[in-house]
Every structure is written in C-alpha cells, then in structure tokens.
Amino acid sequence: MKKGIHPEEYREVIFKDISNDEAFLTQSCVATKDTIVWEDGKEYPLVKVEISSSSHPFYTGKMKFVDTAGRIDKFNKKFAKFAKKTPDDKPAEEKTTEE
C-alpha cells in the first residue's frame, strides 16, 4: 500500500438510511455539516444515505422500489431516442405523393 494517501482524521460518525430511518455508528472521515444526538447522549456528525445494508434488496431479501429524484424518468427521457419503434408508432402526419 502507498504511504501518505489514506486519511488519518477518522472520527465517530452516524450514518442514517433515509429510506427506512435506520442508523448506525461507525468511524469515517467524511465531511458533514449535520449532527445528531445518539443513544448514548453524545452528539455526532450525521451522514444521510439513500440506501444501506438495512434497506438494500441483496441484504434484506425483499425487493423494494427506490426511485429517488426521478432517476428512472431521467433515464427514460435521455434514452428515448434509442428505443425501438413498433409498427404502431407511426408519425402523426405521413407525407403522401399525389399522382
């Protein structure tokens, strides 16, 4: 391992899963402005995460639909032009030639 590339300022931090309100205390060097009072009465920095092991389908065994900030809609809009067209998808006006 290279020396001098890993941070040394680790401190205790609360990570809170906002999808199911689960929280856990661990060590991290992530910067955050929020704080929270933990079960032991002490105040710790708070990091909010959208998904963690307490809500991820791989760990829970339950499928859960998570669409934060409209990611699916954003994806569909971005790649709509690449979608395959079916015979029912005809333009509204088709040009015809008069004989």
Contact, 20 vs 55, CB < 8 A? yes
How far apart (Å, rounded) are the C-alpha atoms in residues 23 and 43? 14
Q: Which residues contact 25 (CB under 8 A, 6 or more apart)?
A: 12, 13, 14, 38, 44
* pLDDT tens sequence across 43-86: 999 999 877 777 766 656 666 655 566 777 777 888 888 877 66
Q: Where are the domains of the chain?
A: 11-80
Kindly report whether the global pTM for this prediction surpasses the value 0.75. no
